[in-house]
Amino acid sequence: MTEQARIDHLAEMLKDARARTLALIEGLNDEQLMGPRLAIVNPLRWEIGHVAWFHETFILRGRDDRAPILAHGDALYDSAKVHHDTRWDLPLPNLRATLDYMARVNDELIKRLNGGADDAYFYRLTVFHEDMHDEAFTYTRQTLAYPAPRFGYKAPAAEGGGPLEGDAQVPGGILRLGVEPPGTPFVFDNEKWAHDVALKPFRIARAPVTNAEFQAFVEDGGYRRRELWSDDGWRWRRNARAEHPVYWLPAGLGPWRARRFDRVEELKPDQPVIHVNWFEADAYCRWAGRRLPSEAEWEAAASGAPTPDGKALTPTKRRYPWGDEPPTPKRANLDGFRLGCVDVGALPDGDSAFGCRQMVGNVWEWTASTFAPYPGFSPDAYKEYSEPWFGTHKVLRGGCWATRARLIANTYRNFYTPDRRDVFAGFRTCAV
């Protein structure tokens, strides 16, 4: 890639991320942009300002030592110092002023690129940070029953469909868990660096758990059977008074339904169950006589391949389940263009070497693993990204339908506390 091509690519990523941000607030009024005071959402007007502040802080101020564009920006938008519960009470600029601030920051970043300055790592960091917030904005629209966003592009219909039953057999061996140095142009600190993990042979479901499969757990009294739940999980279930996934509506005399954004739809049996937390996934596994995969097992099933005799893992890994080529709509349900999940049997072109489907896209997948540093971990420039959350969060892998394709790969580690149900998360299981 030439220098100009690289500059053009970074500028296009900036513009694309910002277009997605603006699409996610489009059509919302002032009251919706602030929203109710909830622990799992931010006021959207605060959050879009924070995204611009992050760009400015890490590039214009951090790399060029410029004066702040907003003199009081740190007091408003520094998420490490501004407590979540206070964000509704801040003297935030109005929407027009916030959008002007965002546009000014983006214009300055693009001018800086066109002038020859290139800190590619930091440009990618800020774009990916905006991509993550854009996914969170999508969660917020679902949580608050706002209308579904419109992105101006519709992906082609997904090939295939229906359920996908059965397990894939993954041989034992040594997995190089994490990213090999040097590798991709950008690596998050919690992916560094690849290290040997010994795995025993295991069997993992070819597809995530479906709505129909999870419905059987619900209708068998799964939420009321204490023996299926861990101590922490049972405590959460009682406090939340949970009887079924958060957006499911009781069946009564008819079929189960679920709320999707501001509409209620009949539950689609062959789509993956979504908006379940780690405790719910763990309880389902006990009911089904299965277990969650460790993140190393998940990465082996997604990125590994068997030796010719099928008895071990090869030493090389794939960047994506299907190989090293970037995602396409035929391989993975990403980028939000389908505005929801597809059946677990869809998109066979995205299968891993072991025949596992949709390991990238559609739904995030909970793993059994607690989020922890890899050996030799040290934080990168964004020091608050990973380190504060070690030991308290669970690892999810694979991305969801709203995840940006440029962000995700087999090695990407997402992490949430085990009680979170707003995330577009499901799970697949392993044989015990």
DSSP state of 144: T
User: Which tens digits make up the pLDDT trace of 220-254?
Assistant: 999 999 999 999 999 999 999 999 999 999 877 78
**Cα pseudo-dihedral 138, 58, 56, 92, rounded to 10:** 60
Of the candidates 101, 117, 143, which is a domain's last residue? 143
Of the candidates 90, 116, 143, which is a domain's last residue? 143
Of the candidates 143, 178, 197, which is a domain's last residue? 143
Residue 343 sits in the same domain as residue 392? yes
Residue 125 sits in the same domain as residue 171? no
**pLDDT at residue 183, as a whole number:** 66
Residue 50 lies in a domain: yes
**pLDDT at residue 269, as a whole number:** 97
Which helix (H) or strand (E) segment holds residue 196: the answer is strand 195-199
Residue 170 sits in the same domain as residue 260? yes
Residue 402 lies in a domain: yes
Residue 118 sits in the same domain as residue 199? no
Nearest Cα residue to 129 out of 422, 380, 323? 380
**Cα pseudo-dihedral 357, 360, 365, 370, rounded to 10:** 130
Rounded Cα gap, residues 122 and 10, in angstroms: 10
User: Which tens digits make up the pLDDT trace of 175-209?
Assistant: 999 999 876 789 999 999 999 999 999 999 999 99
Residue 111 sits in the same domain as residue 160? no
Residue 131 sits in the same domain as residue 181? no
Residues of the chain with pLDDT under 50: none
Residue 180 sits in the same domain as residue 316? yes
Residue 149 lies in a domain: no
Domain encompassing residue 75: 3-143
**pLDDT at residue 182, as a whole number:** 77
β partners of residue 431: 290
Residue 113 sits in the same domain as residue 228? no
Residue 76 sits in the same domain as residue 216? no
Residue 266 sits in the same domain as residue 361? yes
CB 176 within 8 A of CB 196: yes
Give the CATH number for residue 248: 3.90.1580.10
The number of domains in the chain is 2
Residue 29 lies in a domain: yes
Residue 148 lies in a domain: no
**pLDDT at residue 18, as a whole number:** 97
Residue 82 sits in the same domain as residue 192? no
Identify whether 298 is preceded by a cis peptide bond (ω within 30 of 0): no
Residue 372 lies in a domain: yes
| pTM for the full predicted model | 0.97
Percent of the chain with pLDDT over 70: 100
**pLDDT at residue 23, as a whole number:** 97
Nearest Cα residue to 267 out of 251, 286, 243? 251
User: Which tens digits make up the pLDDT trace of 10-22?
Assistant: 999 999 999 999 9
